[in-house]
Amino acid sequence: MTRYVIDAYAWVEYLDGSRSGEKVKAILQGENEIYTCAVTVAEVASKVCRREMDVNTALEAISTLSKIIEVDFNLAKASGISHAKMREKIMDFGLADSFVLESAKRIEGKIVTGDEHFRDTEGVVFVE
């Protein structure tokens, strides 16, 4: 059984029902353990709200289909350090991306995304 952390890009594609979202759906429906970082929940809520979609329905899907990785002191510390290191290579690497990266490390899982910031990162499944 594979563990996956679904990032905001992938969740939005899934919620949109796009071709990339169908790839996410296949992962969600497989025999996998699915996780979402709490920071990703905020990212998705913002994106869905800006699109004037139903935020509650979107977040209910996330909380039903995945386990939420809460942000604690150690995750925040690790994310801050990895953010600084990633910014040396990728100038616009986001802090939220670092939380996803460190969440995947915490559970020894893979990241599901289409976000180009993760292009050369080990353990990433692209759904573009």
> What end-to-end distance do the CA atoms of the chain give, in Å?
23
Q: What is the pLDDT along the chain (128 residues), one digit of tens a residue?
A: 899 999 999 999 999 999 999 999 999 999 999 999 999 999 999 999 999 999 999 999 999 999 999 999 999 999 999 999 999 999 999 999 999 999 999 999 999 999 999 998 999 999 98
Per-residue tokens: 92: 């616009």
Cα–Cα distance between 89 and 60 in angstroms, integer?
35
Give the pLDDT of residue 128. 81
Give the pLDDT of residue 124. 96
Q: How far is CA 39 from CA 6, 17, 22, 102, 103, in A?
A: 11, 22, 23, 12, 10
Cα–Cα distance between 121 and 112 in angstroms, integer?
11
CATH of domain 2-120: 3.40.50.1010
Q: How far is CA 4 from CA 60, 84, 85, 101, 103, in A?
A: 18, 24, 23, 11, 10
Structural domain spans, the chain: 2-120
